[in-house]
């Protein structure tokens, strides 16, 4: 009985998630990669990460806020539904244009960092927009990338190109971004009813 309840819960959760951002990100990402520019692999990576920000968009946010299920649990259910297809689509899109272990690791770290940041932003924004933080996440992510580009490469927190230190430095910075984004998401997922 509990297993059936969980499966049904995930199915109904999937029905409330807006999937069109993921479809748009996949189609545009595939079109960009089809143009033959391998260096543009960052576009599908960013678009799919930004699309994941819509995971928390929930038109029944206010109604469910009073349910016995905590906010973090509800969000976890949505992530379980959204993250696997996001990873599968991203892997399918970018796997053709990656060469070597270091490059693969860096790209994975970048994707994790972008997804982590997007979810962190969307988590905070959802609280302030009544469960519609997805539309806020993408512009804020763009702003973060722009502000990061202002820093010299040595200090750039979200590097999209070469930085001193090479692959390890890129992997460290993007992994750090992933951790920070996840922490922000966790803090923003504290149930509002338990806040002082």
Partner 1 sequence: MTSISSGPARGVLVALARVDGRHLLVSPLFLVGLGVALLGTAVFVLGVLTDDATTWSNDAWTIGVGFFLAAVFAMLAVNRASLRDHREHTGEQHGSLPTNQTLRLAGMFGAVLWPAIVSTLLLGVVVVFASTQVDVPVITIVHVLHNAALFLMLGAVGLTLAAWVPSSFAAPVVAFALYFIDPGETPAAWHVIWPFATLGTVELAMWHIVYLLGLALLLLATAATRWERGRGQAIVFLGSAATVAASVTVLIIRVCSQAGPCLL
Write out the residues near partner 1 by the rule CB under 8 A: 20-21, 24-25, 28, 32, 40, 42-43, 46-47, 50-51, 54, 132, 134-135, 138-139, 142-143, 145-147, 150
Q: Which is nearer to partner 1, 60 or 69 (CB)?
A: 60
Distance of alpha carbon 74 from alpha carbon 76, whole angstroms:
5
Q: How far is the CB of 97 from partner 1 (least distance, A)?
A: 15
The 10 Å Cβ neighbour count of residue 184 is 18
Q: How far is the CB of 153 from partner 1 (least distance, A)?
A: 15
Q: Which is nearer to partner 1, 32 or 127 (CB)?
A: 32
Q: Which is nearer to partner 1, 11 or 37 (CB)?
A: 37
For residue 53, the surrounding DSSP H or E stretch is none
Q: Which is nearer to partner 1, 46 or 171 (CB)?
A: 46
Q: How far is the CB of 136 from partner 1 (least distance, A)?
A: 9
Q: How far is the CB of 123 from partner 1 (least distance, A)?
A: 17
């Amino acid at each position: 009985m509990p297993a059936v309840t969980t499966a049904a819960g995930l199915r109904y959760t999937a029905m409330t998630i807006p999937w069109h951002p993921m479809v748009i990100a996949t189609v545009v990402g595939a079109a960009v990669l089809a143009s033959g520019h391998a260096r543009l692999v960052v576009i599908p990576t960013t678009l799919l990460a930004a699309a994941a920000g819509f995971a928390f968009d929930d038109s029944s946010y206010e109604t469910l806020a009073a349910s016995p299920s905590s906010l973090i649990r509800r969000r976890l259910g949505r992530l379980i539904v959204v993250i696997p297809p996001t990873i599968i689509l991203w892997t399918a899109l970018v796997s053709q244009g990656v060469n070597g272990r270091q490059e693969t690791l860096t790209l994975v770290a970048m994707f994790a960092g972008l997804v982590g940041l997007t979810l962190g932003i969307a988590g905070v924004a959802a609280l302030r927009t009544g469960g519609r933080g997805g539309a806020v996440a993408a512009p804020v992510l763009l702003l973060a990338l722009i502000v990061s580009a202002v820093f010299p490469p040595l200090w750039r927190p979200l590097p999209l190109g070469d930085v001193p230190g090479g692959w390890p430095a890129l992997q460290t910075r993007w992994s750090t971004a992933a951790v920070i984004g996840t922490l922000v998401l966790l803090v923003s997922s504290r149930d509002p009813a338990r806040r002082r």
